[in-house]
Structure 1
Amino acid sequence: MTEKISKAITLSRFPLIFLVIVLHSYFAEIDYSQYPVFSNITCLLSFVVTRVAVPLFFAISGYLFFNKVETMNLKLYKSKLKKRVKSLLVPYILWNILFVLAYFFIIKFQLVPVHTDGKTVYDYSLTDFLWSLYNTKISAGVETPFYGIVYGTGSPIAYHMWFVRDLMVASILSPIIYFLVSNRVARFIYLPVIIMVWAYAIPFLGDVGYYLSSVTFFSLGAWANVNKINIEKIESCNRILVIYVLAVGIELYLYNTKSLSSLYHNVTILLGLLALVSILLRLSGKVSVPKMLSDSTFFVYGGHLMFILLTVKLLQRYIPHNEGYLIIAYLCAPIMVYTFLVGCWVVLKRIFPRLAEWLNGGR
């Protein structure tokens, strides 16, 4: 990994986590047909541009997982997994437990409506609580444990933590992925095939195929590193930026005409991934992000969903429903939540530094 790529990865942490917060800032209880400008802004940000963030996070994780790996053996595999116990498993469990406690509080005081699959945390048995750390559909009895584990269609009680769960699954599968991206024959077949399967199989805004998303983009990053692909060449590719802008414009048109297909949406994500990498490489070494923002990325990710959902629900309930107010509220919500969580991380780090470290994945 070159210094330029290393700086680009460090630089990516702040914009990517902010894009994830914007992705979840969608005002679900608004009749968008009455507010065309607000509708287009929301579509552009929450449904198009921000959809690049999670795939790129997976790709970066795959790239870093296999950095300086010349061959995959059992000793290295155990070492990699051991490191991810601290960086992924521990914060994953802690954030899910915090969300369980938060749901007790929210439901008890009826702060906002909570949508469930038929059960709330007050109805959970001990077994249900344990399953909720992996897949709430199993806890609710909607899916069998076998189906929920094998297909990964549900999510843990901290919904957004499906990313960490599936990143751990990809890490467990890393020896298989390494073989497929490094084998002289398989490396030319595996990546195109799995990307095509992902593009066709993942429905637009669907709640299925999480494992497929994680493995696909984790494999993309792994393939680039293991095969020593010169990623820096993307920096000078102006065409990809132009093509992506055009693709986004077409997607907005298709969205407004109710003719947007999941395949076109996924192709736009792939173009956006290349475009964002190009932008990050261009800015690498020229733009710096305050260390506080980079260091708190995982903590912000862990806590953002509960606070952005609460913020959005309260804004929808209390602000006047006209286009101007809705646009301002929508744009301000992620900024407020991000600022609040960074502040929480700074305070927690000073008062309970060990807890802050655990929640931040040891970072």
Structure 2
Amino acid sequence: MNPYLSYKLKILSLFSILLVVYIHAYTFDIAPDTGALTDQKSYNSFIQDFISQGVARVAVPIFFAISGYLFFLNFIPSATEYLKKYRKRFQSLVIPFLLWSLYGILLYFLLQLAPNSELFFKNRLIRNFDVPQFFSTLLQHPIPYQLWFLHDLIFLVLLSPLIWVYVRYLQLPGVLLLVLLWVWKFDVSFFQTESLLFFSLGAFLTLRPYVLLKVHQSAAATSALPGWLLLLLLKTWLSHTDFEPVLVVQLLHKIAILVGLVATWMSFDKAFYQEVPDRESPLLTLASYSFFIYAFHEPVLTIFKKGLLYFLGSGDLSTLLVYLLAPLFIIGLSVALGFALKKILPGLYAIATGGR
């Protein structure tokens, strides 16, 4: 792979996982596309909607697009190639999924042994699980709920022969059809259309390598980021004024994600295009812990948030401070623990991160 493109994908993955942590830092109940569910709209809900329901919503599409691109990069379809890919993804997806899901169950079980723990764990008392509940939690509804991404990715990898044929022969019209299904929210039970769309987009981009290799330094690249942020401000404002019809806000939400992908990609070149830094650069070092941050941050972030809100109260200022600061603490904790585990138990770290 082109060294600059490799660097770009690693840093964008890091950027995306930091945004995912902020999505999960939300201190309100949330409605998809339209933001915070609260009768008292305020500066607090506006800021959280702008970040978590705006800026951060490019993160998951970036992850799936990168995953699809890397899976099909230099791909030659054959039974041998698919078996090779399946073996590799079993180590990098299935084993980490099972390990981190089991970790979530064990963590909750240990925390629920503490006195008065029912104040914080009202839904899942692990000690009361029967066998079907245990396996349902382990495989279908993991406590670290961010594992849905790996869950979807595992199914997409299994369907990769069909996805490759679809993308190879339908090309751009096939991708545009998936865009329509995504906008329409045509999901199926075992994965989301969003996952299929952006994984397929990554596959399609392997057929158009010049698209990703182009370095953007034009006036359009300069205006892409502020244009996207203005669009997000409009969408957030409309959602906070209970704009009717809601369908307009939902459509703006999807458009903003697509615009955000382009803006993020182009803005990276404006900010970072240079000689590819050596492997010891701080950003690349931090990026090497991206998967560990992803896998570890929940349910620890939720537990930490609940604890802070229990002591600080639920006022606008306190909940906003928890929203802004709790993710920074959890990200720092994730990196510190990842670094320690990598030093002390490198074999376990390699298994937990799928060899990343």
Q: TM-score range by the shorter chain?
A: 0.7 to 0.9
**What residue in structure 1 maps to residue 234 of structure 2?**
250
Q: Which of 113, 128, 131 matches 2:120?
A: 113
2: CA distance, partners of 1:50 / 1:209:
24
**What residue in structure 2 maps to residue 219 of structure 1?**
200
Q: 3-state SS of the aligned residue for 1:201?
A: coil
**What residue in structure 2 maps to residue 27 of structure 1?**
27
1:46 matches 2:39 = no
**What residue in structure 1 maps to residue 162 of structure 2?**
176
**What residue in structure 2 maps to residue 161 of structure 1?**
147
**What residue in structure 2 maps to residue 151 of structure 1?**
none
Residues 244, 275 of structure 1: 8 Å contact kept: yes
Q: Which of 133, 142, 159 matches 1:128?
A: 133
In the superposition, the TM-score normalised over structure 1's length comes to 0.85
Q: Which of 42, 47, 61 matches 1:55?
A: 61
Residue 279 of structure 1, CA deviation: 2.0
2: CA distance, partners of 1:6 / 1:319:
43
Larger deviation, residues 301-310 vs 348-357:
348-357
Residues 35, 322 of structure 1: 8 Å contact kept: no
1: CA distance, partners of 2:234 / 2:46:
12
Distance of aligned partners of 1:170 and 1:281 in 2 relative to their CA distance in 1, 3 Å threshold: farther
**What residue in structure 1 maps to residue 33 of structure 2?**
none
Residue 281 of structure 1, CA deviation: 3.0
Q: Residues 65-118 of structure 1: CA distance to partner in whole angstroms, max 9, x if unpaired?
A: 11112x3111111111111111111111100000011121233331653354xx
Residue 285 of structure 1, CA deviation: 4.3
2: CA distance, partners of 1:2 / 1:326:
44
Q: 3-state SS of the aligned residue for 1:333?
A: helix
Q: Residues 149-195 of structure 1: CA distance to partner in whole angstroms, max 9, x if unpaired?
A: xxxxxxx3321100011111111111111111111xx1132100011
Q: 3-state SS of the aligned residue for 1:108?
A: coil
Residue identity matched to 2:60: V
Residue 127 of structure 1, CA deviation: 3.4
Corresponding pairs, count:
336
Residues 58, 214 of structure 1: 8 Å contact kept: yes
Q: 3-state SS of the aligned residue for 2:120?
A: coil
Within a 5 Å distance, the mapping from 1:201-280 to structure 2 comes to 201=185, 210-233=191-214, 235=216, 236=218, 237-238=220-221, 239-259=223-243, 260=246, 261-280=249-268
Residues 11, 289 of structure 1: 8 Å contact kept: no
Q: Which of 309, 315, 319 matches 1:316?
A: 309
Residues 234, 277 of structure 1: 8 Å contact kept: no
Residues 106, 112 of structure 1: 8 Å contact kept: no
Distance of aligned partners of 1:231 and 1:350 in 2 relative to their CA distance in 1, 3 Å threshold: closer
Residue 55 of structure 1, CA deviation: 1.0
1: CA distance, partners of 2:332 / 2:27:
20
1: CA distance, partners of 2:297 / 2:139:
19
**What residue in structure 1 maps to residue 325 of structure 2?**
332
Distance of aligned partners of 1:243 and 1:31 in 2 relative to their CA distance in 1, 3 Å threshold: closer
2: CA distance, partners of 1:334 / 1:279:
24
Residue 52 of structure 1, CA deviation: 0.9
Residues 234, 274 of structure 1: 8 Å contact kept: no
**What residue in structure 1 maps to residue 5 of structure 2?**
5
Q: Residues 194-228 of structure 1: CA distance to partner in whole angstroms, max 9, x if unpaired?
A: 1111012169xxx9784322111100111011233
Structure 2, unmatched stretches of 5+, are 30-35
